[in-house]
Amino acid sequence: MLDGTTQLVAIVGSPIVQVKSPLNFNTWFQDHGLDLAMLPIDLRADSLPAFIGLLRGWQNLRGCVVTVPYKQLLAGQLDQLSARAQLLGSVNVIRREADGTLCGDNVDGEGFLGAARQHGFVPAGGNALVLGAGGVGSAIGCALCEAGLARLVITDVDAARARALGDSLRGTFPATEILHEYASLADFALVANASPVGMGNGGELPLSEAMLATLTQGCLVADVVTSPAVTAFLHRARALGARTQTGAQMARAQMGHLGHFMGVMPPGV
């Protein structure tokens, strides 16, 4: 129950009905007996400038999670950005300091990596393939490089987008070899779909059946897509004997990073 004493966090995007964060955060706040709540905000794009002003003045608001389509748009309007949010040009979380200063970070990649570590994936010295170099693919690529990956192959149907990301990551993480082509999946300890392919019930795969047949049993196959819960890609990977990670597991692993950045959860949740 909200009261005058309740401290708030928010999640902003449009549409907002599909997000799971309010349920996850509010359950956690309630289970821990905290006077905190998360509000979902479906915001029209032309209200973004007013929204930024509102965030600065909203004294019982601790922070705001940011989702599609505002991750890039909001990054340009904050007072401070983490180094990775600067590199990625996007934020998925904002902290409001007591004086109204707004600080942004992007923990999409940390959430993905946290879930992958829970599945036994060790990034340091490893090889990974990421399919999709958009917002989430960039964040995952960045987190993998930061964690000491030896070789990252990152592809996109928009080849120029993958190359631009590769150039930017190489500049920041010279110890990781970054490529855009591969002949088989045999060398990868992790194969991640970071594209929207497989959303809905169409059953599309981000890789050909012939390429999937080269998967090794020890590989972790991950999907960022959250609906359906188990995509056709993950079904095929399971049938081929691979371990799998769902989009929901990535989202759940992110909650602690988002909550900690906004100052409403301790580290390690």
Residues near ligand NAD (CB under 6 A) are: 68, 108, 111, 131-137, 155-158, 161, 195-197, 199, 206, 224-226, 247, 250-251, 254
Strand 127-131 to 177-179 pairing: unpaired
Can you tell me the distance from the alpha carbon of 167 to that of 17, in angstroms, rounded to the nearest whole number?
A: 36
Least separation in angstroms between CB 96 and ligand NAD: 22
Can you tell me the distance from the alpha carbon of 176 to that of 223, in angstroms, rounded to the nearest whole number?
A: 23
Instruction: Say which of 62, 71, 84, 96 is annotated catalytic.
Output: 71
For 57, 206, 209, 231, 232, the CA distances from 202, given in Å and listed in that order, are: 45, 12, 16, 10, 9
Can you tell me the distance from the alpha carbon of 66 to that of 74, in angstroms, rounded to the nearest whole number?
A: 8
**How far, rounded to the nearest angstrom, does the alpha carbon of residue 80 sit from its chain's CA centroid?**
20
Q: Which of 131, 166, 125, 179 is nearest to 149 (CA)?
A: 125
Nearer to ligand NAD, 2 or 43 (CB): 43
Q: How many CB atoms lie within 10 A of CB 214?
A: 16
Nearer to ligand NAD, 120 or 200 (CB): 200
| 71 part of the active site | yes
Nearer to ligand NAD, 51 or 70 (CB): 70
For 230-235, the CB contacts below 8 A with 24+ separation are: 231/193, 231/198, 232/198, 232/203, 232/204, 232/205, 233/193, 233/197, 233/198, 233/205, 233/206, 233/207
Please name the amino acid found at residue 129.
Answer: L
Least separation in angstroms between CB 135 and ligand NAD: 3
Residue nearest to ligand NAD (CB): 134
Least separation in angstroms between CB 70 and ligand NAD: 11
Least separation in angstroms between CB 161 and ligand NAD: 5
Nearer to ligand NAD, 106 or 127 (CB): 106
For residues 224 and 197, the answer to whether their CB atoms sit within 8 Å is: no
Least separation in angstroms between CB 158 and ligand NAD: 4
Least separation in angstroms between CB 215 and ligand NAD: 16
Nearer to ligand NAD, 16 or 199 (CB): 199
Nearer to ligand NAD, 40 or 58 (CB): 40
Catalytic residues, by residue number, are 71
